[in-house]
Structure 1
Amino acid sequence: MHAQPGDWLVLKGPRTGAPDQRGRILEVRSADGTPPYVVRWTADDHVSTVFPGPHAVVLTAEDERAAEDRARTRFDRVQRSIHEEGGHVRVR
């Protein structure tokens, strides 16, 4: 696993249905980009030093932006498909 400051660390949920934990990598403590990483977690703005385990994934800032764009596109598509007609909601 290799990272650089500005990348995102995603820790997969420990069980099905459990949310992932996401954080921005602020600092990489090794010259070759391997752990440990100093991470600011999005859920609570907490900063910690992390030695990620096997269920962790590093996303570049570009990967994260692309994922956010895909999610926004899906959300917009669903929003457009919902129409209110005469007090009833219809999904087409």
Structure 2
Amino acid sequence: MFILSLTYLVPLDQVDRHVEPHLAWVAEGYDRGYFLASGRKEPRTGGVILARGPLAELEALTAQDPFVLAGVARYEFTSILVSRTAPGLEALKG
């Protein structure tokens, strides 16, 4: 599993112009089975996505995020091996 950490590179008014296409892109990531959870950072400096799949595929997918294509954000990838979860979240293992 990977933590995809999105960081904004420009002021929020510039980011906000791309929110709708970004949300459509996020929905596609869920539909394709890559994304498990997502949300904004607080304070609003970016976002986080919990994702699964081969790193190369996730890198290619995030390269198509409208935020990245517009140059308003970038991603960092952190690989994690989940060894324990709360009840109901066992699907995060493996």
Q: Tell me whether the two structures share a fold, i.e. TM-score over 0.5.
A: no
Q: State the structure with bigger RCO (CA 8 A, min sep 6), 1 or 2.
A: 2
TM-score tier after normalising by the smaller chain length: under 0.3
